[in-house]
Amino acid sequence: MAEFDSIDSLVAAVKEKMAKAVSHAEGDFATVRTGRATPVLVEKLAVEYYGTEVPLQQVANFSVPDARTLVITPYDKTALKDIEKAIQSSDLGINPSNDGSIIRLSFPPLTEERRKELVKVVRHKAEDGKVAIRAVRRSARHDLETMEKAGVLTSDDVEGTEKELDKLTQSYVQELDRALAHKEKELLEV
């Protein structure tokens, strides 16, 4: 575990790690398809480009002409087939349309059943984020105990800091819950 020289440095590290956990979960939410076209869905797809796997965002440009269409324009036209293959082998479930210079992805409207499945996926991602936040709190409590045993902190310091950690944990979990509620609303809206 990390050694901290003061309560303030420990709390600052905890805030940073919890904020990263929330931000990571929100990033995961963005990769869940909502029936709207967005580059986030494909920009991290691994494309084999001259024998090396690179993210799609490094070999192509994206545009969204309407809510259900995503246009991918490769910087190098020779990469079209590789980009098309990467999209077909992904879990998007969308067939790319290649016209020789661009790839067009048309996102069909989601069925009610698929929307409910996606809500479950997003809830699972949110729970993973909450687990990460709680793991940060657990690690910080361990560090506090270590500091108390070393004589750096008194038991009153530890008790007060643990209460602060609990408040921080609650606030970051609430932030994650708000993001989850927003994503659920977005998914269920027809």
pTM for the whole structure:
0.71
Tell me the per-residue pLDDT of 157-183, one tens digit each, with 9 for 90 and over. 889 999 999 999 999 999 999 999 999
Per-residue tokens: 143: 């560090």
SS3 11: helix
Domain boundaries, the chain: 7-31+111-188, 39-106
Give the separation between CA 48 and CA 16, rounded to whole angstroms.
Answer: 35
Return the CATH superfamily for domain 7-31+111-188.
Answer: Ribosome-recycling factor (1.10.132.20)
Average pLDDT rounded to a whole number, residues 24-44: 81
Tell me the per-residue pLDDT of 89-120, one tens digit each, with 9 for 90 and over. 887 778 888 888 899 988 888 788 888 888 99
HEC string of 169-182 equals HHHHHHHHHHHHHH
| 7-31+111-188 and 39-106: identical CATH topology | no
86-88-91 Cα angle (round to 5): 95
pLDDT grade, residue 190 (50/70/90)?
A: low
pLDDT grade, residue 189 (50/70/90)?
A: confident
Query: DSSP letters of 77-106?
Result: GGGHHHHHHHHHHSSS----EE-SS-EEEE
CATH number of the structural domain 39-106:
3.30.1360.40
SS3 131: helix
Give the separation between CA 42 and CA 17, rounded to whole angstroms.
Answer: 27
